[in-house]
């Protein structure tokens, strides 16, 4: 989950382009760049975390319903 959030933020920042079309520094960020991304985008990354959580909850409910039938 921790990897998906920064990926989504970088994808958003790069106009939702394929990651292969991103600048080299964002395709494979350094540890410092990665830390900066978290520091500078805390609120947006929390948004993505919330979306992941809600999707997980909903898919769990779908699975439970499907298995009960």
pTM of the full predicted structure?
0.72
Please tell me the predicted confidence (pLDDT) of residue 34: 85
Please tell me the predicted confidence (pLDDT) of residue 1: 58
Count the alpha carbons within 13 Å of 29 in the hemisphere toward its beta carbon: 16
| CB-CB contact of 22 with 10 (8 Å) | yes
pLDDT in tens, 8-62: 999 999 999 999 999 998 988 888 988 999 899 999 999 999 999 999 999 999 9
Helical ranges in the chain per DSSP H: 4-13, 24-27, 31-40, 42-68
């Amino acid at each position: 989950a921790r990897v998906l959030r920064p990926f989504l933020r970088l994808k958003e920042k790069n106009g939702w382009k394929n990651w292969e079309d991103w600048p080299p520094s964002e395709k494979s960020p350094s540890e410092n760049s990665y830390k900066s991304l978290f520091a500078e985008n805390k609120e947006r990354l929390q948004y993505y975390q919330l979306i992941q959580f809600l999707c997980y909850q909903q898919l769990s409910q779908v699975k439970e319903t499907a298995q009960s039938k």
